[in-house]
Amino acid sequence: MGGKTLTAKERMAIPRAKMPEQNPAARAANFEEVPFGLTPEQAMLEAQRCIKCRNKPCIDGCPVGVHIPEFIALVAEGKFAEAAREIKETNVLPAVCGRVCPQEIQCEEACTLWKRFGGVSIGALERFVADYERNNNLVKIPKKASSTGKKVAVIGSGPSGLTVAGDLILKGHEVTVYEALHEPGGVLTYGIPEFRLPKKIVKAEISYMERLGVKFVMNVVVGLTTTVDELFDELGYNAVYIGVGAGLPRFMRIEGEDLNGVFSANEYLTRSNLMKGYLFPEYDSPLPPGRRVCVVGGGNVAMDSARTAKRLGADVTIVYRRAREQLPARGEEVHHAEEEGIEFKLLSNPVKLFGKNGRVVGMECIRMKLGEPDDSGRRRPIPIEGALFKIECDQVIMAIGSGANPVLTKTMKDLELNRWGYIEVDENNRTSMPMVWAGGDIVTGAATVILAMGAGRVAANSMHAELMGLPQPVTEES
Amino acid sequence: MKGTIVTNEQVVPNLRRLVLEAPAIARRAKPGQFVILIPDAEGERIPFTLSDWDASEGTITIFYLEAGVSTMKLTRLKPSEAVHTLVGPLGKPTEIEKFGTVLLGGGCYGLGGIYPLARAFKEKGNKVIAILEARTSYLIYNEDRIRGVADEVIIATADGSRGVRGHVWEAIKILEDRGEKIDHAHFVGCTYMMMTSSRATQLAGIPTIVSLNALMVDGTGMCGCCRVIVGGETKFSCVDGPDFDGHLVDWENVFARAGAYVGEENLAYQFHQSRDDGAIKDDGCKNCGKEAV
């Protein structure tokens, strides 16, 4: 089919590709990845669906501006490795983004075909070409600009830090990434479960960055092991990027939250993903399987926690205070969770946890109704007086968001923060301190991998300009 | 290399002194801070109180009791081998001020942990009285070093084999009886010792700090595993502590949370020991007659 030119009508007649998946009953008992990925034939057929429209709205829909129609055209020709390289011009983590980006509200939603035919499966194609390139050992190291002699320190090895590192190393700067934990990747490593993002893929992306020349230093908590001042004054860095994530778990401040069996989603997911608690006792960090687990919250982190608990053998209920339409999680995640047998208790909010011998045994909730829209534009949940009910449970996972972790920022007296403790930046992600940039969740509060990468891209361009004495890029205030 | 073992020796039965190469930590360490280490690639992240450090040598010292899988793995590490991960210094440093007379109480790993406190309080111009607690006389260690910086050292043993018969709180009573005016107290050791000692100082009206030893995962405030209730408020030991007002700590909660994984800890210990002994092979069961599978 490669060389044949199809008419737009013929292209639109091709049914939208769907990745085959593990069946729900099987996957609810293992930690293997859920979708299998497209076959080369499926990918080439799906790529034919792109009608090559002139205005390329998909690119505008992508926070890092991946050259989407260009890479899809290469897929259609069967040039998969070339397609992967085309993506890598603007996105250092295609295998990750192909899996965890919410394409349905970004590139795919922007696709001209979206409304009538369903957008081109850009995410599945991105994942396919990145996997193809990696699995066939076709990963090439791009040519770097000649050395500028400038040194950049990146604090935090999550998606925004990796983007900054990847961009700046190609521009000829010397880049070192500092990570507080013992494995690089930030939320990609400790937060997102194996069944959604296999850790071998994160490792491969990191090793690609290492081959580009990025240095990774683990087990350094900037703020405690060293300080930003020392990075400049003693280690001779010319610029610093702060991408440390939000990293302060929120609790509800209700009675019983300090009982055993009550976890923040951060703790639960870190025990599972980073510490491999689901392989206990082969690995030493315990993550005891619950019998009945309640997960409080309705975002992607809540879905990840619920699906992890399910895989450990629990009956799982998601308790969310608004209605189904307001669930902040991706539709695909909610769908997967439902397929796996996770129960949703909507319009319900915990008010109290019960304990016995120091261990949680149940939760009291109040029913909610929806009122007028609040600041977020979503209808405000209002408790229905007296409408209390109990759920029996032996584990509770609080997945209600994160705040700004102050470990680093409190050691930087001249760094301007907003009233919630997040770092204030301008449209180029510059902070109030000279030669210090910041981006990702420590600026915006908890958001997505790709938005953090978008912020990293903006910062990297600005850092490069500043380091080279060029005018600052003109960036639209978002 | 960072995390390389310089010394790993038993100082008293089951309690070991570990000296590690860690120049970056040694350089910044302050009394009251801790490190997190992982013994090997499958290991867990465990916090240890810093008991000494030498910035010029680039080394740190911790003391540990072999009590589970992680510490069993630590025991087996030999000089020139390295732990998998070592990070720090973590936590808020202890506030070292001139209080007047400072009482330090240590037990178990705390006999190591109170040494840097004794040194710092002494340097600040305090009179330092240290109570060293153990079950029996031969379990007392680090005594010479503490004697080197403290004005007075009192030994308390549960069996009365040396010094005061009893625990730290009983030694505090003796100090009170002789009319010693104590302005500040700080306890490092097992939860029971810190709780009973805090009760004694509360009755005597002595402001008291305890260095809690909660379970942790990341140790940087990210997970909330180490939460404790202090004065009715939930705090994170790793970033808000580990030092807290001993009179405001909810001890019942500290005990409960410390025991959160006792079942798993025992299971893991047996799992590793049986695997190491080669006993994991199935010989069937002599009691019920089940045959090997």
Q: Could you identify the residue written with the tokens 């020709």?
A: A77
Q: Which residue of A has its CA nearest to B33?
A: A224
Please report which confidence band the pLDDT of residue B284 belongs to, taking 50, 70 and 90 as the band edges: low
> CA of A319: how far to CAs of A268, A332, A384, B177, in Å?
17, 18, 16, 57
Please report which confidence band the pLDDT of residue A11 belongs to, taking 50, 70 and 90 as the band edges: confident
A423, A416 contact by CB (below 8 A): yes
The reply to whether domains A151-247+403-468 and A251-400 share a CATH topology is: yes
Q: Is the pLDDT of residue A6 over 90?
A: no
Best of A182, A189, A235 to substitute, by most chain B Cβ atoms within 10 angstroms, is A182
Please report which confidence band the pLDDT of residue B292 belongs to, taking 50, 70 and 90 as the band edges: low
Cβ-based neighbour number of residue A21 at 10 Å: 14
Fold annotation for A8-135 = Fumarate Reductase Iron-sulfur Protein; Chain B, domain 2 (1.10.1060)
Residue B8 in tokens: 């790993």
**Cβ separation of B87 and A221 shorter than 8 Å?**
yes
Q: Which residue of B has its CA nearest to A252?
A: B234
The answer to whether the peptide bond before residue B93 is cis (omega within 30 degrees of 0) is no
A391, A362 contact by CB (below 8 A): yes
| In chain B, where the domains are located | 5-90, 101-213
For residues A448-472, give the mean pLDDT. Answer: 94
What 3-state class would DSSP assign to A464?
helix
CA A46 to chain centre: 25
Q: Which residue of B has its CA nearest to A408?
A: B220
Chain B CB contacts of A261 below 8 Å: 260
Contact status of A356 with chain B (Cβ, < 8 Å)? no
**Sign of the alpha-carbon torsion through B71, B76, B79, B82:** negative
Domain B5-90 has CATH 3.30.450.40: no
What's the pLDDT tens digit per position in A353-382? 999 999 999 999 999 999 988 887 888 999
The rounded mean pLDDT for chain B is: 92
What's the pLDDT tens digit per position in A83-141? 999 999 889 899 999 999 999 999 999 999 999 889 999 999 999 999 999 999 999 88
Q: What are phi and psi of B146, to 5 degrees?
A: -70, -40
> Full-prediction pTM beyond 0.80?
yes
Chain A: give the shortest CA distance to residue B87, in Å.
5
Chain A CB contacts of B261 below 8 Å: 286, 288
Chain A: give the shortest CA distance to residue B133, in Å.
29
Give the pLDDT of residue A1. Answer: 45
More confident residue, B280 or A227: A227
**Cβ separation of A258 and B234 shorter than 8 Å?**
yes
**Cβ separation of A248 and B222 shorter than 8 Å?**
yes
The reply to whether domains B5-90 and B101-213 share a CATH topology is: no
What's the pLDDT tens digit per position in A398-419? 999 999 999 999 999 999 999 9
Q: How far apart are CA B147 and CA A445, in angstroms?
A: 51
A20, A53 contact by CB (below 8 A): no
Domain B101-213 has CATH 3.30.2270.10: no
Domain A151-247+403-468 has CATH 3.40.50.2300: no
Query: At residue B116, what is the residue type?
Result: P
Name the class of domain A251-400.
alpha beta
Query: At residue A207, what is the residue type?
Result: S
Contact status of A182 with chain B (Cβ, < 8 Å)? yes
Please report which confidence band the pLDDT of residue A339 belongs to, taking 50, 70 and 90 as the band edges: very high
Chain A: give the shortest CA distance to residue B266, in Å.
10
Contact status of A217 with chain B (Cβ, < 8 Å)? no
Q: Are strands A395-398 and A262-264 parallel, antiparallel or unpaired?
A: parallel
